[in-house]
């Protein structure tokens, strides 16, 4: 009972702390928001939990991103149980497109190439993953009185607050046979229509800034009566902008992120050893020109307990190239 109260208090504190988050003028490498939108260790390795949805600079863009996730799973609950190395590779087309002054839409189209290495064999699954669509609304966009977009977009004093929601469409294949193995995340898709909410906040003061992101996944039951557990993701990062006389920028960033998963269900009954949590350290960089953005992100676990310790995240990485418009 005490543990339950502690968990509830932790959840409330995290929700309050990150309730001011925003994607907008997001001085936080693109990869952060899309790991938050693209990783799901206990639900389905197709989504990006702590990786992000935009870039350090709030550009409208279309781009391509490569995500790599390394897992180690135990085929049993004992210390000497055989280990399975898993590599999740994703090539993702993503975009941010303005609809009105305060409304934007984002799309994520992933293609997965996952590999699982046993002692005596290797299995692979490849194909289209679940497509995600988001809409975001700008609640607050405040710049200083001397703000000039052409010169001050990268370094200026401003606040940006956005809220949004989205839907994940089951375009990726869900294989029930694979799902009975030790790591249920080894799938191309969840087989279900899932819904997401997010809130993001960014603050910049000259070259220094901070960005925060919080989202929650509401997952539904698929045709096989399997339901991945709901998921809470957060990320917070500090960044610094180095700008040259051509208004190009190099932006390193450092932060933390976390993921919390509820238990998966089969026929509406909870499945043991499928809930968990993970806390990460994040280090990233982004280089921006007027038309192109290149970024990279590395994520390493600080603390984790996934599926009663039978699943372990070793690290995650992401690189991306965007065309800005």
CA distance 155 to 57: 10
pLDDT at 16 over 90: no
Work out the pLDDT band at 79, boundaries 50, 70, 90: confident
Q: Dig out the tokens for 6 from the structure.
A: 């502690």
Work out the pLDDT band at 30, boundaries 50, 70, 90: very low
pLDDT at 310 over 50: yes
Point out the least confidently predicted range of 155-164, 170-179, 212-221, 244-253.
Answer: 155-164
Whole-prediction pTM value? 0.82
CATH number reported for the structural domain that contains residue 43 in this entry: 2.40.128.130
Q: Are 90 and 200 in contact (CB under 8 A)?
A: no
Q: Are 60 and 44 in contact (CB under 8 A)?
A: no
CA distance 187 to 168: 15
Higher confidence at residue 67 or residue 179? 67
Residue with tokens 């990268």: 154
Segments forming the whole domain that contains residue 238: 2-324
pLDDT at 83 over 70: yes
Task: Provide the phi-psi class of 225: left if phi over 0, else alpha when psi is between -120 and 50, else beta.
Answer: left
pLDDT at 82 over 70: yes
Give 3-state DSSP helix, strand, coil % of the chain, rounded to 5: 10, 55, 35
Domain count, the chain: 1
């Amino acid at each position: 009972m005490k543990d339950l109260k502690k968990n509830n208090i932790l959840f409330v504190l995290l929700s309050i702390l990150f309730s001011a988050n925003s994607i907008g003028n997001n001085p936080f490498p693109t990869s952060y928001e899309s790991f938050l939108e693209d990783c799901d260790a206990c639900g389905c390795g197709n989504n990006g939990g702590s990786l992000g949805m935009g870039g350090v600079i709030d550009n409208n863009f279309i781009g391509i991103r490569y995500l790599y996730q390394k897992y180690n799973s135990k085929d049993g609950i004992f210390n000497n149980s055989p280990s399975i190395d898993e590599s999740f590779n994703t090539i993702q087309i993503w975009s941010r497109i303005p609809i009105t002054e305060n409304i934007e839409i984002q799309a994520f189209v992933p293609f997965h190439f996952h590999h699982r290495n046993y002692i005596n064999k290797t299995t692979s699954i490849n194909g289209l993953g679940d497509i995600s669509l988001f809409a975001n609304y700008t609640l607050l966009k405040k710049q200083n009185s001397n703000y000039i977009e052409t010169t001050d977009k990268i370094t200026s004093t401003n606040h940006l607050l956005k809220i949004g929601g989205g839907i994940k469409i089951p375009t990726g294949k869900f294989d029930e046979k694979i799902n009975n193995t030790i790591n249920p995340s080894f799938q191309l898709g969840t087989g279900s229509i899932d819904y997401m909410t997010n809130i993001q906040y960014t603050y910049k003061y000259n070259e220094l800034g901070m960005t925060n992101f919080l989202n929650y996944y509401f997952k539904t039951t698929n045709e096989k009566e399997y339901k991945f557990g709901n998921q809470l993701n957060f990320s917070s990062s500090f960044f610094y902008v180095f700008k040259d006389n051509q208004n190009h920028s190099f932006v390193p960033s450092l932060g933390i992120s976390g993921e919390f998963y509820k238990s998966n269900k089969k026929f509406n009954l909870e499945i043991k050893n499928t809930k968990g949590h993970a806390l990460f350290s994040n280090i990233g960089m982004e280089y921006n020109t007027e038309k192109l953005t290149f970024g990279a992100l590395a994520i390493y676990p600080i603390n984790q307990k996934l599926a009663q310790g039978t699943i372990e995240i070793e690290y995650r990485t992401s690189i991306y190239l965007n065309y800005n418009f």
